[in-house]
Amino acid sequence: MKLSIITINKNNALGLERTCQSVICQTFDDFEWLVIDGASSDNSCEIIKKYDKKIAYWISEPDTGVYNAMNKGIQQAKGDYCLFLNSGDWLYSLDSLSKAFDIIKDLDEADIYYSDCISDYSDFWEMPQKLSIDDLYLAKALSHQNTFIKRSLFFEHGFYDENFCTISDSIFMVKEYWLYHSIFIYINTIISVYAYGGISITYKNAKKELHEQVKNIMGDSEFNILIKRINKNIRLWEISKKIIKKIIIYYLLPYGFYKLYLSLKNTLSKKT
């Protein structure tokens, strides 16, 4: 199975250089690499040209946003699976892809393979080994930097919706799970490091938009069941936190202080 790595970039020359270095140093080589630049005004094109011999396809032209650029990459890709490694992201280690595909070769065929992920702030997300719609709705959406997506899904079910700024990849995953019953398989590794920041962090309407889109996809009755279940789990978690806090305050802390008191007492008695 061949992989297409798609890198989109706009005016992020520094991040693009880091991404490029992580790609060209991979021990795994059964992939093609595409770079889609949004007519950058910095020196991004010079960096792309620097790695031109390693890049199967690249273009620099105006686009209408992140998902427009990602869709351009999908249309030009020829691999069986796509990995979106945007400028600023980087592959976790020199053998990230080798490790991932060593695991995949022993697994059943999936529409989407996904792994745990880590950010450049060292925030770590351990993904569930079996996904549920709850996971996808609660913004635990699969990190596209750590997801191999079968390219044919885009042609069969539709490309990323370019009407949204930040949630189209989440919508895509919800549709694949809920409407098309695609096969998701967890791989126990980390593929890439996600560069924290960008428009997805600052866009205030994302949560509301995702709420409405998931509701449309699932239908009112199923969506209401989902929300009730999530709210119940949140309440149970809040109750659990209160119980844990009470145990710490009323039992563990006094016991810890008592042990400290005995330790100091024994130390002083030995000295005398």
Q: Residue 155 is part of a domain; what is its CATH number?
A: 3.90.550.10
Average pLDDT, rounded, for the chain: 87
**Which pLDDT tens digit goes with each residue over 101-148?**
999 999 999 999 999 988 887 678 788 899 988 888 875 568 889 999
Are 86 and 206 within one domain?
yes
Q: How many residues does the chain have?
A: 272
Q: Tokens 């609660």: give the residue.
A: 138
Cα angle vertex 73, ends 46, 199, to 5°? 80
Are 202 and 240 within one domain?
no
Are 241 and 114 within one domain?
no
Helix or strand (DSSP H, E) at 187: strand 184-194
pLDDT reading at 256 higher than 90: no
Are 232 and 270 within one domain?
yes
Q: Phi/psi of residue 91, each to 5°?
A: -65, 135
- For residues 236, 242, 248 and 249, what is the CA-based torsion angle, rounded to 10 degrees? -170
Cα angle vertex 45, ends 43, 50, to 5°? 100
* Cβ-contact 67, 75 below 8 angstroms: no
Cα angle vertex 49, ends 118, 77, to 5°? 60
Are 186 and 68 within one domain?
yes
Are 155 and 227 within one domain?
no
Structural domain of 184? 3-218
Last residue of a domain, one of 218, 239, 259: 218
**Which pLDDT tens digit goes with each residue over 175-224?**
999 999 999 999 999 999 988 765 554 456 788 898 899 999 999 999 88
Give the SS3 label for residue 201.
helix
Are 170 and 247 within one domain?
no
In angstroms, rounded to a whole number, what is the distance separating the alpha carbons of residues 250 and 149? 50
**Token pair for 121:** 């702030």
Are 118 and 230 within one domain?
no
* Cβ-contact 188, 103 below 8 angstroms: yes
In angstroms, rounded to a whole number, what is the distance separating the alpha carbons of residues 258 and 265? 10
Are 81 and 104 within one domain?
yes
Q: Which of 91, 92, 70 is nearest to 82 (CA)?
A: 70
What is the pTM assigned to this prediction?
Answer: 0.82
How many domains is the chain built from? 2
Are 126 and 165 within one domain?
yes
**Which pLDDT tens digit goes with each residue over 145-159?**
999 999 999 999 999
Are 148 and 267 within one domain?
no
**Which pLDDT tens digit goes with each residue over 51-104?**
999 999 999 999 999 999 999 999 999 999 999 999 999 999 999 999 999 999
Long-range contacts formed by 30-33: CB under 8 A, 24+ apart: 30/2, 30/3, 30/101, 31/2, 31/3, 31/4, 31/5, 31/79, 31/97, 32/2, 32/3, 32/4, 32/5, 32/56, 32/57, 32/77, 32/78, 32/79, 33/4, 33/5, 33/7
Q: Tokens 């309440």: give the residue.
A: 235
